[in-house]
Amino acid sequence: MKKIPLTVVSGFLGAGKTTLINQLLAANDGERIAVLVNDFGGINIDQQLLERAAGNVIPLTNGCVCCSIGNDLTDALIQVTSSAPLPDRVIIEASGVSDPWKIAEIGLVDPLLSLDCVLTLIDVGCFLEQLEDSHLVTTLERQVKAADVLVLNKCSLAGPERVQAVRQWLAAHSSGKVIHETNHSRVPVQLLAGLFDEQRFRKLGQQSTGPSDHLHHLSSWSFNTDRLFDHDKLSELLAAMPNGILRAKGLVCTNRHPHETMLLQLAGSSRELGRIDRKRQAQLSELVFIGEAIPDLEGDMTARLRAALV
Amino acid sequence: MSQVTVFHAKKIITMNPTQPVATHVAVRDGRILAVGSMADMQGLGSSRVDESFKDKVLMPGLVEGHCHTFGGALWDLPYVGFYDRRGPDGALWKGLKSLDEVVTRLSAHEQTMTDPEEPLLAWGFDPIYFDDARMSVRELDRVSATRPIMVLHISFHLMTVNSAMLKLAGITEDTPIEGVVKFPDGSLTGELREMAAMFPVNRVVSTGLGVSVRDISRKSLYNFAHVAQQAGVTTATDLANRSIEAQLPTLAAVTAEQAFPLRLVPVRLSSGDPANVANEVELIAASKTFNTGKLRLGSVKLITDGSIQGFTGRLRWPGYFNGSPNGIWVTPPERILQLVERYHAAGVHLHIHTNGDEATEVTLDALQSALEKHPRWEHRHTLQHAQMADASLFRRMKNLDVCVNLFTNHIFYWGDTHYEQTMGPSRAAHMDACRSAQLSGTHFAIHSDAPVTPIGPLFTAWCAVNRKTASGRTLGAGESISVMSALEAITLGAAYTLNMDGEIGSIEVRKCADFCVLEEDPLAVDPDSLKDVGIWGTVLGGHLFKSPAAQEASAVNEAALEV
């Protein structure tokens, strides 16, 4: 059964999560997205899109649904994943102070869902001051650590020196993230949706979205083999990936289960190598990678993969 | 002219220091018309004397100032905890002292289930009482190899399931998250920790049963109320709730029923976002139109830190005794300042959860700042738990007119953990410092936080008086308070923190005719026996609620088997 991609949107209070969510609900690109928000307050849905709200759920005419989390994320998420029809995508707004990874893990454990992306918004104007606050630093660090994509928001207001200072901090404290600079939480939909969709995945590596919002340059490539992987060597490789590999996904065959297919996923700090219900006809492994535009990253990765074959 | 009922009791403890005892109380239209001796009951018009309690002791109906209604739905499930608990129908669920006993109870229940697909859910398990033996699939698979089983831990942060449930939920050995616990050989133990790991099970279970344990339904509210009523409670809180709007119709309808034996005080959980306060203040005003004698809305709860025994409370120097790093800010200090100021300026009444002393101090700073900007009388803002507050913090509370509700049940249930791991012997002697609170002149109450610990204000009072841990250790006799003071804390003291001390909490003319009916005089028994004083039932607004006859829960199950 096809899994529903899960995106977690995180960021401290005031970083711009609600603005981002408003945009997503209005420009859903044909997908039926269920968005779980902490509160409806601030959610600004175009009147044309609004249907009749029923309790904690606001259905929209474009097929999206906005659900308030209320007392319990578990209940709200169950509500949304037991509706008919099921959504095409689920987006959860992590609260301003929670660890988004704790929510993202749902996408790694529930068979109905698949973790697609953790996106953390940063208010560039006050991020560095917030880090000075001993009460906040742990929270902010967790939010950055959990992210695959960091959105530096309110850049024009903060000015280029600020942006640079934040980038320096990020380079020193957490590498391996996709970084996007913007204002008003404007984020290309491909950044948070479709990192696990192989076509969108490749497009991401090639796209530039315009002069004011420049995208960190990425590259994508694929790796294929008809030889078996050594399961233990592949697991070790997954645990020690070279710097610059941001995402990986694909199907592999290993010597532990030679007649079955395994799914390999790498996103942020999560690695997954799991069996799926599919018997392969041929013993083929196909992987797609997205990485930073570092010289010879593809060559390095390919060499390591070859070394992990039987 | 309405009928007047004069209750005659062996003794009436009024909690009014200027008239501490009586033998008769007259009630008209649910309110107290007169208090005193038989001679004081003259000239009240047409009246009849009710001798139901002539051998009993009356005191004001007990007030539980900090508990949760969500436990109500759990009572439909078998309880597998370490301590005895009494269910809504009066059945006594005996505590289970070994994993084998847990398996036995679950197996007995399993045999009563007719639908082979239906999952078996149980609750209340606490692993800390079983030393190093963690419950796992090995035990639960003995109960059934085919029926999915889920045992919810009493902390509500973990569950243990069997192999059939793992299969149903689709959780495999390949699952890479921390919360899915594995044996050294990599196979699953069945223990699932925290929300993400528990989610797949919650999802399949609720789709199957169509209900979550957090549902507020007529049945779950009555379950909650019956358990509370048997403990002598006439007013209880739900502290706190993010879905008040969705629940209002149910709350209003159910509390209005004469058979519903409680006054309920649902407290709204703040969204935690200062930008949202104005909107919430409007919602609060709208919700207050639902207020009745038995339903009281309007207050807001903030949560500042986590829990001390979970190492998520925020502590001042010297921090956690065992060296654990400081805990987490559920609401960071700058936000606490903003939220407190905005709610306070809007006239809202606040309950603020602060467990560690750093959290308590930061909260007092926020309250002081708000009061300096917006002086307000009778705000009754209450700090909840405040387990590590010391004399200087209590003095600040007094000076700011801030109340405190201390978690004295913790002394019994986690006192040894605090002594050994979180606070150490010296600070544990002053945890939940009732005597220090009293000496400072701060208004204080004491609570259970049910269902985290069972609802039972007499037990909570026993904890405040005796300060004994589960292992029998006494934690700081100097912080002990008298039985009388403890009884005040579970009546008038708690009522004061809810802003209801003009209506409940003592037996005085004009107040609600809410009584707790006891088999013995709690002031006459040995203080160590305070928790064992029998409770006949309650009176709410003049209506009698007799507790169901006590019976063993296993007897109930056996009866079901015979059917």
Chain A interface residues (partner B, CB cutoff 8 A): 13, 38-39, 41-42, 55-56, 69-75, 77-78, 81-82, 95-97, 102-106, 108-112, 133, 135-136, 138-139, 270-275
Residue range A125-145, pLDDT digits in tens:
999 998 887 777 878 888 898
**Dihedrals phi, psi of B476, to nearest 5 degrees:** 75, 75
Query: In this structure, are residues A7 and A194 in contact, taking their beta carbons and an 8 Å threshold?
Result: no
Please give the angle made by the CA atoms of B142, B146 and B150, to the nearest 5 degrees: 70
CB atoms within 10 A of CB A276: 12
Interface test with B, best of A109, A123, A140, A231 (most B CBs within 10 A): A109
Residue range B334-361, pLDDT digits in tens:
889 999 999 999 999 999 999 999 999 9
Residues of A in contact with B333 (CB under 8 A): 135
> Does residue B9 carry a pLDDT above 80?
yes
Residues of A in contact with B217 (CB under 8 A): none
**Nearest chain A residue to B211, by CA:** A75
Report the residue count for chain A.
310
Distance of alpha carbon A126 from alpha carbon A154, whole angstroms: 10
Question: Which stretch of A215-229, B228-242, B466-480 has the lowest confidence by average pLDDT?
Answer: A215-229
Per DSSP, the residues of B126-174 read -GGGGTT----HHHHHHH-SSS-EEEEETTSSEEEE-HHHHHHHT--TT
Query: In this structure, are residues A50 and B222 in contact, taking their beta carbons and an 8 Å threshold?
Result: no
Most confident option among A249-258, B148-157, B400-409: B400-409
Query: In this structure, are residues B8 and B50 in contact, taking their beta carbons and an 8 Å threshold?
Result: yes
Residue range B175-198, pLDDT digits in tens:
878 899 999 998 999 999 988 999
Average per-residue pLDDT in chain A? 80
Residue range A173-189, pLDDT digits in tens:
876 677 888 898 888 76
Please tell me the predicted confidence (pLDDT) of residue A245.
81
State the virtual CA torsion across B225, B230, B235, B240 in degrees, nearest 10.
Answer: -50
Question: Percent of chain A having pLDDT more than 90?
Answer: 23
- Coil, strand or helix: which one is B529? helix
Pick from A71, A108, A138: CB nearest B241: A71
State the maximum Cα–Cα separation within chain B, in Å, rounded to a whole number: 82
Residue range A96-120, pLDDT digits in tens:
777 888 899 998 899 899 888 889 9
Please tell me the predicted confidence (pLDDT) of residue B116.
87
Residue range B53-102, pLDDT digits in tens:
999 999 999 999 999 998 788 888 899 999 888 899 998 999 999 999 99
Please tell me the predicted confidence (pLDDT) of residue A205.
47
The H helix count followed by the E strand count for chain B is 18, 24
- Coil, strand or helix: which one is B98? coil
Spacing of C-alpha B482 from chain mean position = 22
Beta bridge partners of B22: B12
Please tell me the predicted confidence (pLDDT) of residue A145.
85
> Does residue A200 carry a pLDDT above 70?
no
Please tell me the predicted confidence (pLDDT) of residue A213.
34
- Coil, strand or helix: which one is B363? helix
Interface test with B, best of A82, A105, A113, A257 (most B CBs within 10 A): A105
Q: Which is more confidently placed, B355 or B131?
A: B355
Residue with tokens 């279970």: B205
Please give the angle made by the CA atoms of A53, B273 and A10, to the nearest 5 degrees: 85
DSSP state of B305: B
> Does residue B371 carry a pLDDT above 80?
yes
| CA atoms within 13 Å, Cβ hemisphere of B158 | 21
Question: Which stretch of B203-207, B444-448, B485-489 has the lowest confidence by average pLDDT?
Answer: B203-207
Question: Which stretch of B131-145, B201-215, B293-307 has the lowest confidence by average pLDDT?
Answer: B201-215
> Does residue A302 carry a pLDDT above 60?
yes
DSSP state of B474: B
**Nearest chain B residue to A262, by CA:** B174
Query: In this structure, are residues B164 and B149 in contact, taking their beta carbons and an 8 Å threshold?
Result: yes
Distance of alpha carbon A149 from alpha carbon B173, whole angstroms: 28
| Arithmetic mean of pLDDT, B511-522 | 98
B172/A105 CB distance under 8 A: no
Give every CB contact of residue B53 below 8 A, 6+ residues apart in sequence: B7, B8, B9, B10, B517, B536
3-state secondary structure B321-348: CCCCCCCCECCCHHHHHHHHHHHHHCCC
A75/B198 CB distance under 8 A: no
> Does residue A209 carry a pLDDT above 50?
no
Give every CB contact of residue B257 below 8 A, 6+ residues apart in sequence: none
| Arithmetic mean of pLDDT, B195-222 | 79
Spacing of C-alpha B435 from chain mean position = 22
B328/A138 CB distance under 8 A: yes
Residue B307 — left, alpha, or beta (φ > 0 → left; ψ -120 to 50 → alpha)?
beta
| Arithmetic mean of pLDDT, B465-473 | 97
Please give the angle made by the CA atoms of B174, B178 and B183, to the nearest 5 degrees: 65
| Arithmetic mean of pLDDT, B368-383 | 98
Most confident option among A220-224, B37-41, B151-155: B37-41
- C-alpha distances out from residue A219 to A104, A200, A203, A216, B400, Å: 25, 13, 10, 10, 61
| Arithmetic mean of pLDDT, B133-156 | 92
> Does residue A51 carry a pLDDT above 90?
no
Query: In this structure, are residues B413 and B456 in contact, taking their beta carbons and an 8 Å threshold?
Result: no
pLDDT band at B2 (very low <50, low <70, confident <90, very high): confident
Distance of alpha carbon B308 from alpha carbon B327, whole angstroms: 8
Please tell me the predicted confidence (pLDDT) of residue A181.
87
| Arithmetic mean of pLDDT, A209-225 | 59
Spacing of C-alpha B437 from chain mean position = 21
**Nearest chain B residue to A272, by CA:** B176
Residues of B in contact with A81 (CB under 8 A): 203
> Does residue B220 carry a pLDDT above 70?
yes
**Dihedrals phi, psi of B192, to nearest 5 degrees:** -125, 120
pLDDT band at A25 (very low <50, low <70, confident <90, very high): confident
3-state secondary structure chain A: CCCEEEEEEEECCCCCHHHHHHHHHHCCCCCCEEEEECCCCCCCCCCCCECCCECCEEEECCCCEEEECCCCHHHHHHHHHCCCCCCCEEEEECCCCCCHHHHHCHHHHCCCEEEEEEEEEEECCCHHHHHHCCCCHHHHHHHHHHCCEEEEECHHHHCHHHHHHHHHHHHHHCCCCEEEECCCCCCCHHHHCCCCCHHHHHHHHHCCCCCCCCECCEEEEEEEECCCECHHHHHHHHHCCCCCEEEEEEEECECCCCCCCEEEEEECCEEEEEECCCCCCCCCEEEEEEEECCCCHHHHHHHHHHHCEC
Question: Which stretch of A100-104, B12-16, B213-217, B223-227 has the lowest confidence by average pLDDT?
Answer: B213-217
Average per-residue pLDDT in chain B? 92
Please tell me the predicted confidence (pLDDT) of residue B344.
98
Beta bridge partners of B86: B92
Q: Which of A4, A9, A43, A51 is nearest to A25 (CA)?
A: A43
- C-alpha distances out from residue B526 to B337, B486, B520, Å: 46, 14, 11
pLDDT band at B559 (very low <50, low <70, confident <90, very high): very low
Give every CB contact of residue A92 below 8 A, 6+ residues apart in sequence: A6, A7, A8, A9, A35, A36, A73, A77, A103
Residue range B49-62, pLDDT digits in tens:
999 999 999 999 99
Pick from A42, A55, A78: CB nearest B246: A55
Query: In this structure, are residues A75 and B214 in contact, taking their beta carbons and an 8 Å threshold?
Result: yes
Beta bridge partners of A28: none
Please tell me the predicted confidence (pLDDT) of residue B563.
32
Pick from A42, A106, A271: CB nearest B275: A42
Structure-token pair, residue A154 = 């309110």
Please tell me the predicted confidence (pLDDT) of residue B551.
53
Distance of alpha carbon B38 from alpha carbon B26, whole angstroms: 10
Pick from B196, B214, B273: CB nearest A75: B214
Please tell me the predicted confidence (pLDDT) of residue B516.
98
Distance of alpha carbon B558 from alpha carbon B115, whole angstroms: 19
Report the residue count for chain B.
563
Residue type, B110: E
Please tell me the predicted confidence (pLDDT) of residue A164.
93
Residue range B315-336, pLDDT digits in tens:
999 999 999 988 888 888 988 9
Distance of alpha carbon B347 from alpha carbon B371, whole angstroms: 11
Q: Decide if the complex's ipTM is over 0.85.
A: no
> Does residue A264 carry a pLDDT above 80?
yes
Q: How far is A198 from chain B (nearest CA, A)?
A: 23
Q: How far is B158 from chain A (nearest CA, A)?
A: 13
| Arithmetic mean of pLDDT, A77-102 | 87
Please tell me the predicted confidence (pLDDT) of residue B215.
66
**Dihedrals phi, psi of B16, to nearest 5 degrees:** -110, 110
Q: How far is A208 from chain B (nearest CA, A)?
A: 34
| Arithmetic mean of pLDDT, B433-457 | 96
3-state secondary structure A214-255: CECCEEEEEEEECCCECHHHHHHHHHCCCCCEEEEEEEECEC
Q: Which is more confidently placed, B176 or A49?
A: B176
Residues of B in contact with A129 (CB under 8 A): none
Please tell me the predicted confidence (pLDDT) of residue B71.
75
Please tell me the predicted confidence (pLDDT) of residue A49.
59
